[in-house]
Structure formats: structure tokens, C-alpha cells
Structure 1
Amino acid sequence: MSDSYKASDYNFLDAALNRHGGSMAKETAFLTVLMGAMHADNRVRKEETDELDALIGRVRMLHSLPEAERTQRREEIMPYMTDEKLRLDRVRLACSSILTAQKGSPPTQPALEGLALSVFAHACDIIYTDLEVTELERQFLRELVQHLSLDHKVAANIVNVIGDKNAF
């Protein structure tokens, strides 16, 4: 989190965020986390945009949406990403939705085991793509680990692998 606000600024939101958690469509939640990663350091580089575009085109989670709808959702999410507080709130809600989708709701919605790990790995890919990881980006990843209820050792392994992958 930046120095422009304190963690206590969010305390009053906890009850509301928890009550409304899990309500985003899984595709929107996935895309929200990826776009949050792209904006995590409050600037967007061409490499990050290119990586996001590539992921949108190849991630199986988003293939269920026609290309026009993927573009529309991206445009709907974008206004929430430029403001740090809005971005963090939306990413937190998206994480809750990811966890809800991961659990599934049998028999109509199958569990999507590993969804949280997948979105975390893709977020790491976006953050590491420009070869510079700022403290804001590291904080974003720490918060993702928390909000996605990931095992810290598994998350650290993903960070190391993605960092190595993007080193050259």
C-alpha cells in the first residue's frame, strides 16, 4: 500500500466487502486480478500491456468469452484500475470471487481446483514482464497471496519460477 492512505482507511469496508464477496463472474474476476497486477505500481508499461493482451488471448478461463466480450469486460474494468483505492477494492472482491469459483457449487458449477494459483501465477507474469519489480508490486503480490488464501511456500515458488522465466 502506498503512503497516500492507511490500512485503517479500509477497516470500515471489511464488512461490506465480505458481504458482497464472490459476486463477480469468474472471468471478470480473473481479468480484474490481471489488470490489477498491470497497474500495481501505478504505471503501465508497454511490456505489461503486451503481456496482458497475450494472456487474454490464450488463458483458457477467458476462452469461454467471445473476443468482443473479453474486450468489453476489459474496458469495463479499466476505470477501476487507475485509482489505487478502487483498484485494491476491486482486486479484493475479485479474489473472493476466484475463491468462490474455485470451490464450485455442485452440481451446476464444478469446482475449479487450482484457479487461485493460476491467477496468481499469471499476475506474477505480468508484474515480472518489465524486469523491474517495485515495492508496490511486491506488496500487491503479498496481498494476493493473502486474499487468495495461498500457501506462502507455494506462492514463493511461483514467484521464483516466474522471476527466473522472465530474467532473460
Structure 2
Amino acid sequence: MKTVPADSFRTKRGTAQFISDAVRFEESFVGYLRGLYRDYWRSDSWSQRVVFVGYVFGLFYGVGWFATTVASGDFGIVAIVVGVVLFLWLVNLLRGFRSPDRIPLVDIESVTAVPGAKGVTRPRLVVAYIDDGSVRKRRVNLPSLYTEQGDAVYECAIEAFEERGIEVARRSG
């Protein structure tokens, strides 16, 4: 009996959906917040709820720190933080990473799956694809291994690509 290919899988910030000739990524900050709420707050585990409260506290603390730092006129530390973020973004850009919302399936060269290490990194896929004659990469972060469905989403994502004839190389942590 042949199984029906998975049409979509969850990502850290939303979903990846397979349409007839491409994979489409619907990700946003709001999607990230929805995922946090669904995976942590709505969990039956009190420890998952504590993680959610920590995320919310960290977000409010960060926004409050930034606002008070700017209001006090201390732009030195803000410039350092912005400089580090821009530097990391530039490094990723130079390494060929992009974030397209849609990648045609025929343009996908390879997919590498990294399971992540609990407490250190999250599971992710690295999709290498051709764009204007150059090989580009897109990192697809998946839900954390601390979530109840973290392992299942990782396997579902791999299976979704393999069912479409795209070989997925598995790397360790």
C-alpha cells in the first residue's frame, strides 16, 4: 500500500508546504509566537509552561532593555549589538544562505538533515538549490527537541522531501 506524501510540516516560525512544483515557506514572527504558544503553553507538562514563561519574560526584558538604553542616550552598547547582528547576517549571506519563500523542486540540489543536540541546537534542514546559476542554501529550523513533537516533525520533514524523490543526507548533531 502506497502512502500519501506529507503536504506540509511545521518549522520554527511557521510551516513549509509542498505545492505542485515547489516548496513554499510561510514563516513570520507571529508564526514563531504561535509555535511557542502551541508547543509550550498548551502542553500538558508544567515544565513546558515554565519554558514559555521564560521566553515571554526574555522577550519583554529585551524590549524593555533596548527601550531604556535608547532613552538614556547610551548608543554605544546599542551600536555593538546592532553591529554583531549585522556581522552575523553578512557572514550567513557570504556563506550562500538566503531565505526565499518559495523554492522550485527542480532547483533543489540536495537536502541535509541535522538532528540537533538537545539543549544546544535545534533540528534543521539545509536545502541547497540553484538560483540564477549559483548554488544557494536555505536553513529550515524545525521545532525544538524539547517540544512533544520535535522528533516527529524532524522525521516528517525528511520523509516529505524523500517522498518527492529528493535524497536527504543525514548528518550528526
More strand by share: 2
TM-score of the pair, normalised by structure 2: 0.30
Structure whose alpha-carbon radius of gyration is higher: 2
Tell which has more relative contact order, 1 or 2 (C-alpha 8 A, sep 6+): 1
TM-score of the pair, normalised by structure 1: 0.30
